[in-house]
Amino acid sequence: MKKLYKIGLFFSILFFCLLGIAVRGEGTSKQIINVPQLSGDYDTLLADNSDRGLRLELNMDVRTGKSLWGDSNITAAQQLENAMKKYNTDKPQLAQVYLYLTGYKDKPLDDAAIENMNKYFDLLAKKGIKAVLRFAYIWDDSNVLAQEPKTNQVVSHIDQLAPWISKHRNQITVLQAGFIGTWGEWDSGARSRMNEKQILTTLLDKTPKDLQIQVRYLNIKNNNIEKNSENWNRAGYHDDFLIGVPHGWNTAGSNPNSADWKQMTEESKNLLIDGEMIWGSANATYVSGDGINGLLMAKRLAEQHFTSLSITHNYTEGGKDKPYSMVNWQSEFVNQRVLEKNGLPYQPEWFIDQNGNNIPRSLFEYIKQYLGYRIAVESGSYNIKNNQLNVSLKMKNYGFAAPLALDGVYVVLLDENNHQTAQKEFVSKDKLQSMQDVEQTISFSSSELKKASKIAVHLKNRQKDKLGNRLSNDITFENGFNILVNNIKGL
């Protein structure tokens, strides 16, 4: 009996050993990826992320290369330098750029105008600033008709500008419809004098199809673009009259229960939305108290998925003696309970430092940090089976808006020197909606595993000097890659 028992035991052990060899031969067991969240005391690392956040406001007369209004005695390049210095601590990565064609309202653009624009955009690229771009003619609202072109001249200029826009596409986050009215803002008087449908259609037809175009009012889109056309989903919005509460000059009007408001709110999930508040000097006319209510502004920005907001309006334009709304918000604090009560998104770790201590947070910080996207990997794992690498990740976007202006969101393989060896799209950008868990498994074939040793996420942007953007995770970030795994087991 003992002999039979030993023989049986021997064959049992042999069977399980062979089974183990067979299983290991197929690949590796599931490997958990450690993805700690970024603690609140390190969130400044996200300040360089492109295509989102607080933005500058800049302008240039393309005929002279100079700025306008109070900066008319300096070049547009110097205005840019001054603005970056003024807002250095806020680190804006975007600028609304007005290019005024006033000097060409009745003639074609010449080589000097094109060269001035080229030099300016080369400087933006050097500074790492992307443009929310608007062309306009009328800058002096006291002398409108003398600066206003005819429709055929606008169309001719769009034809001229089309190759230039394509050339600088990677430096443009979004293009605003512009051209019509004072500051290119499509006021009703100017719209009545121009063929707005012809102008908007030409702009949509002549510019890159992957470039969204923002309109000032909802009815501009509804009246001039066919809903079943490919251009419908390219037309986003810029609301240039934000005061915290609804107003008739808002993009979708003043009634949050209206069909227009609901249309903008629903469409904004898949469109780039930009905004600006009124100037601080107008607070007494349009809002009561000390200025615009920061919590109401945060709710509006989140509801309609704003990607960007002007830092020039209602902040420090009055000087040290006249602090406006955004200055006030810096001493108005929020916590998790307030945000949850108001249905506002946030990343829990944002309130905690690396030692587990609470961090006090202001409304200003909240809006600055959560405009646009704020993406984190929540969990992950990988295995190798049948010579195929399978990477499973769960991501969440804690920001107000999907990362629609990025080139894409990718899972990539890197070699030992952090050079990319393979790339697969994680999901399309529009899937990363605010506060949605997005899970996906990405597979790489055996041929794609050659030279690979690391797994990373690439939030890829279009700027040649900025290779990628950071996840809101406490992980290695090199060469624009968020490195999840430094040594793939089983290769």
What pLDDT shows up at residue 377? 99
- The larger pLDDT score, comparing residue 25 to residue 488, is at 488
What pLDDT shows up at residue 366? 99
Q: Would 22 be classed as within a structural domain?
A: no
Question: Residues 328, 467: one domain?
Answer: no
CA atoms of 347 and 40, how far apart (whole Å): 9
Residues 389-434 have pLDDT tens digits of 999 999 999 999 999 999 999 999 999 999 999 999 999 999 999 9
What pLDDT shows up at residue 21? 35
Residues 295-311 have pLDDT tens digits of 999 999 999 999 999 99
pLDDT confidence band for 27 (50 / 70 / 90): low
Question: Residues 318, 423: one domain?
Answer: no
The Cα-based distances of 425 to 147, 403, 437 in angstroms read 47, 14, 17
Q: Would 171 be classed as within a structural domain?
A: yes
Strands (E), 171-256: 172-176, 213-215, 235-242
> Residue 106: exposed, middle, or buried by beta-carbon count in 10 A (0-12, 13-18, 19+)?
exposed
Question: Residues 300, 424: one domain?
Answer: no
Percent over 70 (pLDDT), the chain? 94
pLDDT confidence band for 17 (50 / 70 / 90): very low
Does 95 score more than 60 pLDDT?
A: yes
Question: Residues 38, 133: one domain?
Answer: no
CA atoms of 236 and 217, how far apart (whole Å): 10
Give the amino acid at 330: Q
Residues 160-169 have pLDDT tens digits of 999 999 999 9
Section 216-231 average pLDDT = 97
Question: Residues 33, 168: one domain?
Answer: no
What pLDDT shows up at residue 465? 63
Does 192 score more than 90 pLDDT?
A: yes
According to DSSP, residue 182 is labeled B
Does 342 score more than 60 pLDDT?
A: yes
pLDDT confidence band for 491 (50 / 70 / 90): confident
Instruction: Give the three-state DSSP class for 70.
Output: helix
**What does the longest C-alpha to C-alpha distance in the chain come to?**
112
What pLDDT shows up at residue 267? 99
Q: Would 438 be classed as within a structural domain?
A: yes
Question: Residues 269, 171: one domain?
Answer: yes
Does 4 score more than 70 pLDDT?
A: no
Question: Residues 261, 386: one domain?
Answer: no
Contact 174, 212 (CB under 8 A): yes
Average pLDDT, the chain: 94
Section 2-29 average pLDDT = 44
pLDDT confidence band for 463 (50 / 70 / 90): confident
Residues 275-294 have pLDDT tens digits of 999 999 999 999 987 799 99
What is the token pair recorded at 294?
């920061």
Section 93-117 average pLDDT = 99
Contact 51, 94 (CB under 8 A): yes
Question: Residues 169, 233: one domain?
Answer: yes
β-pairing, 454-460 with 408-414? Answer: antiparallel
Question: Residues 143, 171: one domain?
Answer: yes
Domain that holds residue 161: 47-341
Q: Would 362 be classed as within a structural domain?
A: no
Does 141 score more than 50 pLDDT?
A: yes
Question: Residues 399, 336: one domain?
Answer: no
Q: Would 229 be classed as within a structural domain?
A: yes
Section 248-268 average pLDDT = 98
Does 476 score more than 70 pLDDT?
A: yes
What residues contact 214, with CB distance under 8 A and at least 6 apart? Answer: 132, 174, 175, 176, 177, 235, 236, 237, 238, 272, 273, 274
Q: Would 356 be classed as within a structural domain?
A: no
Section 170-191 average pLDDT = 98
What pLDDT shows up at residue 290? 77
What pLDDT shows up at residue 321? 85
Does 26 score more than 70 pLDDT?
A: no
The Cα-based distances of 266 to 27, 174, 218 in angstroms read 45, 19, 13
Does 466 score more than 90 pLDDT?
A: no
Question: Residues 36, 75: one domain?
Answer: no
Section 125-141 average pLDDT = 97
What pLDDT shows up at residue 23? 35
Please identify, among 341, 367, 385, the residue that sits at the C-terminal boundary of a domain: 341
Total domain count, the chain: 2
Give the amino acid at 28: T
Of 233, 396, 173, 401, the residue nearest 301 (C-alpha): 401
Looking up residue 244, the CATH number of its domain turns out to be 3.20.20.80
Section 226-251 average pLDDT = 98
Q: Would 184 be classed as within a structural domain?
A: yes
Phi-psi label, residue 179: left if phi above 0, alpha if psi -120 to 50, beta otherwise: left
Q: Would 352 be classed as within a structural domain?
A: no
Question: Residues 444, 317: one domain?
Answer: no
Q: Which of 331-345, 363-377, 459-473 shows the lowest per-residue confidence on average (mean pLDDT)?
A: 459-473
What pLDDT shows up at residue 5? 40
Looking up residue 40, the CATH number of its domain turns out to be 2.60.40
What pLDDT shows up at residue 252? 98
What pLDDT shows up at residue 464? 63
CA atoms of 366 and 313, how far apart (whole Å): 17
CA atoms of 188 and 141, how far apart (whole Å): 14
